[in-house]
């Protein structure tokens, strides 16, 4: 029986979390709002709109709708500028090994990302063909921690949620995977991602035996 493996994009497949941070930081600076790495952690996995709302809340600022739209556009333009320079060197360590392992074991693979730029990024790093389906910010109406993005992914893969495994670097993403009744695997800091079923610093720590156990559904 096939398992469904669903990967977040930013901070899991590629190191774009740093570009989101830089772009939000510049925007916050321009509004004279201070913005720390701890606050940035709370923006991981969170949609573009909700991220700007949170930054404005932190800075106690109210702006017009037009200004809001303009700032979101500006942030995305700066982000796209970083993205345009990306190549395969920005794929996070051992991601291709894990994807190729799953492909050679005939598992179902989906992307489950909040980003509206997901397809562009996957094309830039030449990984788009590894995915059976892509669910991104253009397909969902409810942002993580809502499980919608992963439930759509499971549905498109034709795998039931309890047979899906999610790889995530964001607290909101782990909560979404748990709410979807999927196995959640945190990629990053175990202190931050303590709600995950398993946490690894990065994919280099994930051994073949662990993957084998996930595929064959033995208790890992
Ligand atoms: C998530 C990122 O994957 O996508 C967030 O972790 C980001 O930081 C969100 O805000 C939306 O991305 P985009 O590319 O549509 O602005
Ligand atoms: Mg992420």
Which of 10, 136, 169, 202 is labelled catalytic? 10
Which atom of ligand 1 sits closest to the CA of residue 114?
4
- 167 - beta bridge partners? 7, 185
125 Cα–ligand 1 center, Å: 17
Residue whose CA is at the smallest distance from ligand 1 atom 12:
115
Mutational pocket test of ligand 1: of 7, 16, 42, 45, the residue with most ligand atoms within 8 Å of the beta carbon: 45
Neighbours of 92 (CB within 10 A): 18
Residue 148 has pLDDT above 50, yes or no: yes
Residue 220 has pLDDT above 60, yes or no: no
Confidence of residue 219 (pLDDT cuts 50, 70, 90): very low
Is residue 202 annotated as a catalytic residue, yes or no? Answer: no
pTM score of the predicted model? 0.94
Q: Give per-residue pLDDT as tens, 79-127.
A: 999 999 999 999 999 999 999 999 999 999 999 999 999 999 999 999 9
Q: Give per-residue pLDDT as tens, 18-58.
A: 999 999 999 999 999 999 989 998 999 999 999 999 999 99
Ligand 1 pocket: which residues have CB below 6 Å? 9-10, 20, 43-48, 51, 76, 113-117, 137, 170
The ligand that comes nearest to the alpha carbon of residue 92 is 2
Whole-number pLDDT of residue 35: 94
Residue labelled with tokens 């997901």: 118
Whole-number pLDDT of residue 1: 79
CA distance 186 to 49: 24
Q: Give per-residue pLDDT as tens, 186-217.
A: 999 999 999 999 999 999 999 999 999 999 97
E strand spans, the chain: 4-7, 108-112, 133-135, 164-168, 183-187, 198-200
- DSSP for residue 132: S
CA distance 213 to 220: 6
Residue 218 has pLDDT above 60, yes or no: no
Which atom of ligand 1 sits closest to the CA of residue 8?
3
Q: Does residue 109 contact residue 102 with C-beta atoms inside 8 Å?
A: yes
Is residue 15 annotated as a catalytic residue, yes or no? Answer: no
């Amino acid at each position: 029986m096939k398992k469904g493996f669903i990967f977040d994009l930013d901070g899991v497949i590629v190191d774009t979390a740093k570009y989101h941070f830089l772009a939000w930081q510049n925007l916050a600076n321009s509004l004279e709002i201070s913005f720390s790495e701890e606050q940035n952690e709370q923006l991981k996995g969170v949609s573009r709109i909700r991220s700007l709302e949170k930054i404005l809340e932190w800075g106690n600022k109210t702006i017009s709708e037009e200004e809001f739209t303009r700032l979101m556009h500006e942030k995305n333009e700066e982000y796209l500028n970083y993205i345009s320079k990306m190549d395969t060197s920005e794929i996070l360590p051992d991601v291709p090994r894990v994807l190729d392992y799953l492909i050679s074991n005939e598992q179902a693979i989906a992307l489950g990302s909040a980003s509206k730029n997901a397809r562009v990024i996957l094309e830039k790093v030449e990984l788009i063909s590894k995915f059976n389906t892509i669910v991104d910010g253009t397909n969902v109406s409810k942002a993580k921690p809502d499980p919608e993005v992963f439930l759509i992914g499971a549905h498109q893969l034709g795998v039931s949620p309890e047979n899906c495994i999610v790889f995530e670097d964001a607290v909101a993403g782990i909560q979404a995977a748990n709410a979807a009744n999927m196995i959640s695997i945190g990629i990053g800091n175990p202190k931050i991602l303590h709600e995950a079923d398993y946490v690894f610093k990065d994919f280099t720590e994930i051994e073949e035996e662990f993957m084998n156990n996930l595929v064959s559904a033995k208790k890992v």
